[in-house]
Amino acid sequence: MSYACRRCRPYLTAYIHNELTARARRRIDAHLDTCAQCAALYVRQRQTANELAAMRDIGAPAPERLNAIWRAVQAELSPTALHTSAQPAMMRHKPTRYSAVLVALFMVLTVPMLLNHAAAYAQIPDPPTPLLQNLWIDQQLTGERETAAYLFVAAADATHEPDRDAVEPRRGAGKTAVQTMAFQSNYAPTPGATDSP
Amino acid sequence: MKTPMLEPTEVEALIARCLSGEQTGFAVLYDTFAPGVVRLCYSLLLNHHDAEDVAQETFVYAFKNLRRYDPRLSAFKTWLFTIAICRCRNMYRRSRPQSVDLSSLLQHELPAPRSETPEAAFARTSAKEALEKALLNLSPRLREAVVLRYGHGLTYREIADIMDCPPKTAESRVRLAHEALRGMLHPVGQGLLEELWNG
């Protein structure tokens, strides 16, 4: 293949379709007049181009098919379709079923949490308060010092942690009450005896 | 369906009507461009069902994204064809085995003209079937180029815009496809003689 043939053949298709500039077209014309091989190739290529014109008939749709496609396009572009397409696909198909599943899932997750929270609140123990100490405070308030001092000692023995702030101001009164109580317990009065010698 | 040819200014006016909310604009646009889009999809996929699906997807996408179309960059037909070819490429990638489209065997979409003789009608149908088989043997890129060139009469510049390649590449793809089809459509002996002749 000569240099002129190599410059001519790539442009044969464009030459057939009149897409070359006037100068390029004159150059191809001149070469086809002198080269029998390229001229034969041009004839066959033009024949192929005519056959390829049948490509315009390939796949031409029937009107009813075009109408069916248009209906499908309209259905996808309708406002309701646009509205529902914003939702998840599963909610579009079976909304009731999936809503029930969502509610059940919510309850499964939240109910045990609420129950556990209530149980924990109920299990917090109250701080221990000796009953006797409470009674001693009541006695202090009502002025019965001796009974209160006895009860205070008993409460201190029970807890082993007497409250210093509560004990200090009443220390003297407590001693007297204890002495009185000891006297009363060790020396029980005999019948007919008196305190004076 | 007869396809009316619209001027670019008329297309732009139609698009403006669509964007302003007028529903009839969409119908006119569809009537104008749908036959070409369906034909393009069928020529590339060679299956009626897939072609109609892709055409539907193309119009839905185009109408939903009509605001993105810029008439300064390309013609509306070029924009539509670009969308359609992208969808067709997605269809190739699914790498489904080639299935025989029974509808194309059982019915002929184009009735023969009244003046056409039975022999001529048979020859035309045979040529069309032979062309479809030949297209099936081309690579997707060459098929796209030759279909756009011969099936829709687009220029190399438009083909280059649609296929996203330089115009020279589009031209060479058309030429390669043309040569491949020439080898497939013509008798084998003629091709061999040509090869021997070219040396």
Q: Is B141 on the interface with A (CB under 8 A)?
A: no
Chain B environment of A76 (Cβ under 8 Å): 56, 60
Q: Which residue from A14, A58, A77 is facing B151, i.e. has the nearest CB?
A: A58
Interchain proximity B34–A61, CB inside 8 Å: yes
Q: Which chain A positions have a beta carbon within 8 Å of B147's beta carbon?
A: 55
Contact B42, A73 (CB under 8 A): no
Interface check for B64 against chain A (CB to CB < 8 A): the answer is yes
Band the pLDDT of A18: cuts 50, 70, 90. Answer: confident
Longest dimension (CA), chain B: 64
Residues of chain B in contact with residue A50, where contact means CB-CB under 8 angstroms, are none
Instruction: Count how many pairs of residues, chain A against chain B, have C-beta atoms within 8 Å.
Output: 116
If one counts every other C-beta atom within 10 angstroms of the C-beta of residue B112, the result is 14
Which residues does chain B have within 8 Å of residue A69's beta carbon, measured at their own beta carbons?
Answer: 34, 38, 52, 55-56, 59
Range A80-98 average pLDDT: 54
Residue A67 scores a pLDDT above 50: yes
Is the CB of A69 less than 8 angstroms away from the CB of B55? yes
Q: Closest by alpha carbon to B36, among B153, B152, B172?
A: B152
User: What DSSP string describes A120-168?
Assistant: HHHHPPPPP--HHHHHHHHHHHHT-HHHHHHHHHHHHHHHS---HHHHG
Give backbone dihedrals phi and psi of B54, rounded to 5 degrees, phi first.
-65, -40
Minimum mean pLDDT among A77-81, A87-91, B28-32, B38-42: which range?
A87-91
Under an 8 A CB cutoff, do A13 and B174 touch?
Answer: yes
Q: Where are the alpha helices (DSSP H) in chain A?
A: 3-8, 12-16, 22-34, 36-52, 63-77, 79-85, 89-93, 95-123, 131-142, 145-159, 164-167, 171-186
The total of other beta-carbon atoms located within 10 Å of residue A134's CB is: 12
8 Å CB contact of B110 and A57: yes
Chain B residues close to A62, C-beta within 8 Å? 109
Q: What is the pLDDT of residue B35?
A: 92
Query: Of B56, B147, B172, which is closest to A55 when you measure between CB atoms?
Result: B147
Q: Which residues of B touch A72 (CB under 8 A)?
A: 56
Exposure string over A159-192, b if 16+ CB within 10 A, otherwise e: eeeeeeeeeeebeeebeebeeeeeeeeeeeeeee
What is the pLDDT of chain A when averaged over all its residues?
Answer: 71
**ipTM, two decimals:** 0.74
pLDDT at A57 (0 to 100): 80
**Maximum average pLDDT range among A31-35, A53-57, B131-135:** A31-35
Mean pLDDT per segment of 10 residues, for chain B of length 199 residues? 70 89 87 92 90 93 92 91 93 64 48 60 71 87 91 89 91 87 68 49
Please list, in sequence order, all residues whose beta carbon lies within 8 angstroms of the beta carbon of residue A127, skipping any fewer than 6 positions away. none
Predicted TM-score (pTM) of this structure: 0.58
Nearest to B197 among A37, A52, A77 (CB): A37
Extract the tokens encoding A4: 């002129």
The pLDDT > 70 percentage for chain A reads 52
Give the per-residue pLDDT at A39. 92
pLDDT tens digits, B56-66:
999 999 999 99
Closest residue in B to A45 (Cα) is B182
Specify whether the CB–CB gap between A48 and B181 falls below 8 A. yes
State mean pLDDT over A173-179: 47
Q: What is the pLDDT of residue A178?
A: 45
A9-13, A24-28, B116-120: the lowest-pLDDT one: B116-120
Q: How far is B120 from chain A (nearest CA, A)?
A: 13
* CB pair distance less than 8 Å for B190 and A59: no
Q: Kindly state whether B182 is in contact with chain A, defined as any CB-CB distance less than 8 angstroms.
A: yes
Which pLDDT does position B121 carry in this prediction?
65
pLDDT-derived band at A16 (thresholds 50, 70, 90) equals confident
